[in-house]
């Protein structure tokens, strides 16, 4: 990774939400919900970083904090050498041209009162108000063609399209400013399997063409393995393992990562039947009341008393790092 330019450096990022107490007493203090609790990760130019974990582990909150949709409680989000958390609104507005986002629900992320052309053109009108209508329309048609949308649908509305087509509209909107990074928040989870493959392949093509860096969040580990260069594994708001995709899927070190990877189906029926699935016992703890020490210890098959006393940190480098006292 040292031969690539560093774009994003997230240092000890925390996002805590204050949840009002259910107590009848008005002086009761709110309880912090630790959605993201000290994540460290770097993203390099042209790289795809996959982010995986169970529902409720903080993946989407982590992504939204980078974009600025939720406020970071603590830590640093360093973009090209500048800390986004310390920027004023005017400064941060300029960085938004380089950081875009594709959302999970294709239809819900589009304004139903706007045509496809207006939706894709909106970022251009916001950041380049001096462009003429003809120039904007020309750029919109180019981008529509690039993502596989016919130019004759430019005046149609989102409800007239399928989920896959709506996601292509969202991709075109994110790409129209030619950003350096796009955060993909489960962009294929609401789509059929065949459409998922089309969207993922389109993202890979666009990444190569535009030199994009991607943060790709997904539950489908097979998709993450296919598209990612490195993978960050999160559990209860914490980063538990980070590594290159091939190595992480082949030899996971953290007990939680091993359990996740054992659930990935193998195309060979014999190998699929013969493999051992590592089941996790118990439920995911509440982020309002996380376990002491290692947050995974209540479900970990190798946890000891020491795990309850001290919280492990992510030890290693950008190639492979793990947060565990008993990594394999």
Calpha distance 166→168 (Å, rounded): 5
Q: Are 257 and 52 in contact (CB under 8 A)?
A: no
**For residue 2, what pLDDT band results from cuts at 50, 70 and 90?**
low
Q: Residue 17 forms beta bridges with which residues?
A: 33
Task: Please state the rounded mean pLDDT for residues 180-188.
Answer: 93
Predicted confidence (pLDDT) at residue 1 exceeds the cutoff of 70: no
Calpha distance 291→180 (Å, rounded): 38
Burial of 285 from C-beta contacts in 10 A (0-12 / 13-18 / 19+): middle
The CA-to-CA distance between both ends of the chain, in Å, stands at: 24
What's the pLDDT at 157? 95
Q: Tokens for 125?
A: 């009108």
What's the pLDDT at 71? 93
Q: Are 149 and 202 in contact (CB under 8 A)?
A: no
**For residue 327, what pLDDT band results from cuts at 50, 70 and 90?**
confident
User: Each residue of 202-213: b (16+ CB within 10 Å) or e?
Assistant: bbeebbeeeebb
Convert the pLDDT of each residue in 250-261 to its tens digit: 899 999 999 998
Calpha distance 132→99 (Å, rounded): 24
Task: Please state the rounded mean pLDDT for residues 113-131.
Answer: 94
Predicted confidence (pLDDT) at residue 78 exceeds the cutoff of 70: yes
Topology of domain 6-87+232-322, CATH: Rossmann fold (3.40.50)
Calpha distance 11→190 (Å, rounded): 31
Predicted confidence (pLDDT) at residue 242 exceeds the cutoff of 80: yes
Q: Residue 85 forms beta bridges with which residues?
A: none
Give the sheet arrangement for strand 82-83, strand by strand: 31-44, 6-19, 74-79, 82-83
Burial of 32 from C-beta contacts in 10 A (0-12 / 13-18 / 19+): middle
**For residue 50, what pLDDT band results from cuts at 50, 70 and 90?**
very high
Name the average pLDDT for the chain. Answer: 90
Convert the pLDDT of each residue in 3-48 to its tens digit: 679 999 999 999 999 988 776 567 778 889 999 999 999 999 999 9
Domain ranges of the chain: 6-87+232-322
Q: Are 208 and 201 in contact (CB under 8 A)?
A: no
Least confident range of 52-66, 86-100, 147-161: 86-100
Convert the pLDDT of each residue in 280-302 to its tens digit: 888 888 898 899 999 999 999 88
Predicted confidence (pLDDT) at residue 114 exceeds the cutoff of 90: yes
Calpha distance 317→41 (Å, rounded): 10
Convert the pLDDT of each residue in 135-152 to its tens digit: 999 999 999 999 999 989
């Amino acid at each position: 990774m040292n031969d690539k330019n560093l774009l994003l450096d997230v240092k000890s990022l925390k996002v805590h939400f204050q949840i009002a107490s259910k107590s009848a007493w008005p002086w009761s203090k709110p309880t912090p919900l630790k959605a993201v609790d000290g994540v460290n990760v770097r993203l390099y130019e042209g790289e795809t970083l996959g982010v995986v974990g169970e529902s409720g582990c903080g993946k989407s909150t982590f992504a939204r904090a980078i974009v600025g949709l939720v406020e970071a409680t603590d830590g640093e989000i360093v973009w090209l050498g500048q800390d986004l958390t310390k920027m004023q609104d005017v400064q941060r507005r300029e960085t938004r041209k380089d950081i875009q986002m594709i959302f999970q629900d294709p239809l819900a992320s589009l304004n139903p009162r706007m045509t496809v052309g207006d939706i894709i053109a909106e970022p251009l009108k916001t950041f380049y108000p001096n462009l003429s209508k003809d120039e904007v329309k020309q750029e919109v048609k180019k981008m529509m063609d690039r993502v596989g949308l016919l130019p004759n649908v430019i005046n149609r509305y989102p409800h007239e399209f399928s989920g896959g087509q709506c996601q292509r509209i969202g991709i075109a909107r994110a790409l129209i400013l030619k950003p350096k990074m796009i955060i993909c928040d489960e962009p294929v989870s609401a789509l059929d399997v065949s459409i998922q493959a089309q969207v993922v392949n389109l993202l890979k093509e666009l990444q190569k063409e535009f030199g994009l860096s991607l943060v790709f969040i997904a539950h489908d580990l097979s998709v993450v393995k296919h598209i990612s260069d490195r993978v960050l594994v999160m559990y209860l708001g914490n980063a538990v393992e980070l590594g290159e995709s091939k190595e992480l899927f082949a030899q996971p070190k953290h007990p939680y990562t091993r359990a996740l990877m054992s659930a990935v189906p193998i195309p060979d029926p014999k190998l699929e039947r013969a493999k051992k699935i590592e089941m996790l016992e118990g439920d995911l703890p509440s982020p309002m009341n996380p376990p002491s020490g290692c947050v995974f210890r209540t479900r970990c098959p190798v946890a000891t008393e020491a795990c309850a006393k001290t919280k492990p940190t992510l030890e290693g480098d950008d190639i492979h790092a793990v947060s565990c006292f008993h990594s394999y």
